[in-house]
Structure 1
């Protein structure tokens, strides 16, 4: 079996050195749609080096942009075809605001392997530290079709439903026709997002947008709408990728602000306007630093 769960879980962490600067940060922000309108003071916080703030979603591409969904393929006990891999979900915990420039050590480790019957789910945890201590922790949930059925633990199950009741806020964000091509410049060169032939082999009509691009666009919308544009207020962010987005479509982002006992928590659901509100991001939760 191309996935050896015992070997993957027993392997120690793989460490690597990462570095980034303001150009990397600005490119990421442009890749998730920042800069419209170009002279808006709120957008200049994402695009102008003299005012730059770092959206925490940048952590998913810092140091070269290769996401967990790709890095996990080179971990011990994992040998699978990229065309059978999908990014199933992402969590991010920010221990301190991310600096505009930095160097750090990232340690990757497979912390769970779930048997879903027709697929396996790998969970890759990455812990990033710099000279001052822990900076962020992220986990990528990676689905590998055709690799289940060995009798292992199924892990969490059930698709999260959007919160009940009317959203507190709804915003729409257009996805450019070239959004995936621009986002690929952050370092995520998966051909699924650019090569029509590869996309068909992977089971799609045409190239799809990176899930992490949708993830970043959604976090920016929450920060700009409910956190006053203050990126340092984000403590954690998690989401499940429930469907694909095609470049040229429009995201509808619905937000529910959580009241007591969890003030500071925002629940989010994201759908595609042009496909009858087809759900693409589910179970999304942004926790602000004033949350309990």
Structure 2
């Protein structure tokens, strides 16, 4: 059986100890299109977007992401990122060393696909909790094993004009730059691999879209101050191709910012194409 929930659910993955430095933070935020010197220059009070915590453990990887998950016999061409969340206990340091402890928290059966959930906690060398991540991957062709379909709670978009609306033009080279942040999945760079996976061309990394949207919201509604963000949750609802435009509409509801991120390129005229869905920025 390609996925055995009895083995997978609750399985602890090997701990991963990793380090990062200011140039890693700068490269990551430049790969998200940052222009604010607070996000790009160490002499201007370099700040760290909380989404960096998602990529920091694998930032220096040069191989495609491994899929050696207990009880899960799957391959990379079957997999797309389903959702991602990160929560931080405080502003992330611009350099440091941490250990990430991760477990498979659940496996859902969607019939024609499976959804595998992972949860991880990053702690400093002193044992202090720095951030928590939760993510899911959507594995095509691996459902039907009789497991739970899981739950779904959509985020309600306020029935009023957004408090901020921005657009970001994804450059043709965006995915090639972002892959230097540790995600070497050929789906985002190799046209032949992308075609074999069912796409007409390489697609932008979901986590690049994720980081771009968080940066846009932080700049538009939180004064560019990353310390005002304590968490960000989103579901990957659509594909973004390099060269397209991402539109971000955001509503400040007090403790949170509700976000609607869509593809707003001329080639998609006449149809609403979400890039991310169920997006919520939690304010510190």
TM-score > 0.5 by shorter chain: yes
Q: 1:112 aligns with which of 84, 95, 106?
A: 106
Deviations 1:48-69 (A, max 9, x none): 1222111111111113336xx9
Residue in 1 that maps onto 2:219? 224
Q: CA deviation at 1:157?
A: 3.2
Matched, 1:80 2:94: no
- Distance in 1 of aligned mates of 2:195 and 2:185: 14
- Distance in 1 of aligned mates of 2:37 and 2:10: 46
- Distance in 1 of aligned mates of 2:158 and 2:188: 30
Question: Which sits farther off after the overlay, 81-90 or 3-12?
Answer: 3-12
Q: CA deviation at 1:166?
A: 1.8
The residue matched to 2:232 in structure 1 has which SS?
Answer: strand
Q: CA deviation at 1:248?
A: 0.5
- 5 Å-filtered alignment, 1:169-248, equals 169-248=164-243
**Are the equivalent residues in 1 in contact too, given 2:57–2:100 (CA < 8 A)?**
no
Q: 1:92 aligns with which of 86, 95, 106?
A: 86
- 5 Å-filtered alignment, 1:230-269, equals 230-258=225-253, 263-269=254-260
CA 1:84–1:159 in 2, change beyond 3 Å: closer, same or farther?
farther
CA 1:244–1:201 in 2, change beyond 3 Å: closer, same or farther?
same
Matched, 1:48 2:69: no
Aligned-pair RMSD on alpha carbons? 1.6
Deviations 1:95-134 (A, max 9, x none): 1211000001101110010001110000011110002511
The residue matched to 1:182 in structure 2 has which SS?
Answer: helix
Q: CA deviation at 1:12?
A: 2.6
Matched, 1:286 2:277: no
Q: Unaligned regions of 5+ residues in structure 2, if any?
A: none
- Distance in 2 of aligned mates of 1:279 and 1:163: 17
- Report the TM-score, using the length of structure 2 for normalisation: 0.93
Q: CA deviation at 1:158?
A: 6.4
Q: CA deviation at 1:160?
A: 5.0
State how many pairs are aligned: 275
- Distance in 2 of aligned mates of 1:144 and 1:287: 29
- Distance in 2 of aligned mates of 1:11 and 1:271: 35
Deviations 1:29-80 (A, max 9, x none): 0111112xxxxxxx111111222111111111113336xx945x22211221
Matched, 1:150 2:172: no
Question: Which sits farther off after the overlay, 269-278 or 140-149?
Answer: 269-278
- Distance in 2 of aligned mates of 1:150 and 1:22: 45
- Distance in 1 of aligned mates of 2:14 and 2:158: 38
The residue matched to 1:244 in structure 2 has which SS?
Answer: coil
The residue matched to 2:71 in structure 1 has which SS?
Answer: coil
The residue matched to 1:77 in structure 2 has which SS?
Answer: coil
- Distance in 1 of aligned mates of 2:10 and 2:34: 41
- Distance in 2 of aligned mates of 1:144 and 1:100: 34
